[in-house]
């Protein structure tokens, strides 16, 4: 079923939410900001995402549930020189692979502003083993031309757990810090057999599958 078809019944979601266990909120270091949204169905389960916050002051993406509690927090890279503009937007287009400016590709891209998307770190080619590994190692600091880059697993989660119309609020608040759901993984840039892959990619062809958690990729 296509993503568009899957989300055609958004209006019926409220009836299904009652069947879901509540999401346990992460502890945070400061109060969250609330803004309205809707729960959505996915191909796996009901996801209670109401909204997304991109904080350019901390280089974090935070997903909120229907009670405005954070349910996923990930490191990101937003625009250099403040090129990811603060404001409140809504998601529109969704792309599993997307050709970007400069002839590179992103994965699990979600557009939230006319020229800005949330997506994976870029790839040199339309192939999962061509990651721009130096750009990947910049996660947690500004690095893009305006888009919001994330590790592949985080970009995929956003792609699968939001629908067109999900609210995205971009803020610049260095004091609004949340604990990350998962630590930032760094790529060994000298390891030619590994560096072309995103360490969070679950593709069975990824060489990271043969490594134990906490190995040299950390």
The set of residues, in sequence order, having a beta carbon less than 8 Å from that of 195 and lying 6+ positions away, is 131, 133, 187, 188, 189
Conformation bin of residue 189: beta by default, left when phi > 0, alpha when psi is -120 to 50? alpha
Is 171 contained in some domain? yes
What proportion of the chain, given as a percentage, has pLDDT over 90? 69
Residue 95 in any domain: the answer is: yes
Q: How confident is the model at residue 46 (pLDDT cuts 50, 70, 90)?
A: low
pLDDT value for 176: 96
Looking at the domain assignment, is residue 216 inside a domain?
A: no
Q: Is residue 170 part of a domain?
A: yes
Whole-number Å distance between alpha carbons of 73 and 114: 24
Q: Does residue 218 belong to any structural domain of this protein?
A: no
Evaluate if residue 190 carries a pLDDT over 60. yes
pLDDT tier at 177, thresholds 50, 70, 90: very high
CATH classification at residue 201:
2.40.440.10
pLDDT of 165 higher than 50:
yes
Q: Cα 153 to chain center, whole Å?
A: 7
Closest Cα partner for 79 from 144, 137, 171?
A: 144
Assess if residue 211 is contained within a domain.
no
Write down the pLDDT at residue 210.
85
Q: Is 212 part of a structural domain of the chain?
A: no
Read off the pLDDT of each residue in 144-172 and give the average, rounded to a whole number: 96
Number of domains, the chain: 1
pTM here is 0.77
Q: How far is CA 47 from CA 5, 63, 167, in A?
A: 17, 11, 15
* Domain boundaries, position 43: 3-14+24-206
Question: With 70 as the cut, is the pLDDT of residue 32 above it?
Answer: no
**How far apart are alpha carbons 39 and 26 in whole angstroms?**
19
Q: Return mean pLDDT, the chain.
A: 81
List the single range of 23-37, 101-115, 133-147 with lowest mean pLDDT. Answer: 23-37
Both tokens of 155, joined, read 């970009």
Does some domain include residue 86?
Answer: yes
Q: Which pLDDT band, with edges at 50, 70 and 90, does 88 fall under?
A: very high
């Amino acid at each position: 079923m296509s993503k568009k078809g899957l989300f055609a019944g958004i209006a019926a979601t409220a009836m299904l939410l009652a069947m879901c266990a509540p999401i346990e909120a992460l502890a945070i270091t400061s109060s969250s900001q609330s803004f309205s949204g809707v729960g959505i169905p996915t191909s796996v389960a009901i996801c209670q995402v109401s909204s997304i916050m991109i904080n350019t002051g901390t280089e974090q993406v935070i997903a909120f549930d229907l009670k405005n509690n954070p349910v996923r927090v990930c490191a990101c890279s937003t625009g250099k020189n403040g090129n990811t503009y603060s404001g409140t937007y809504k998601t529109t287009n969704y792309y599993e692979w997307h050709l970007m400016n400069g002839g590179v590709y992103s994965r699990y891209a979600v557009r939230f502003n006319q020229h800005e998307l949330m997506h994976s770190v870029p790839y040199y080619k339309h192939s999962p083993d061509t990651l721009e590994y130096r750009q990947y190692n910049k996660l947690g600091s500004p690095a893009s031309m305006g888009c919001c880059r994330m590790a592949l697993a985080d970009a995929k989660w956003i792609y699968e757990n939001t629908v067109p119309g999900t609210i995205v609020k971009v803020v610049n608040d260095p004091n609004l810090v949340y604990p990350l759901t998962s630590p930032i993984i760094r790529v060994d840039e000298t390891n030619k057999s590994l560096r072309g892959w995103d360490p969070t990619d679950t593709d069975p062809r990824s060489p990271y599958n043969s490594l134990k958690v906490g190995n040299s990729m950390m």
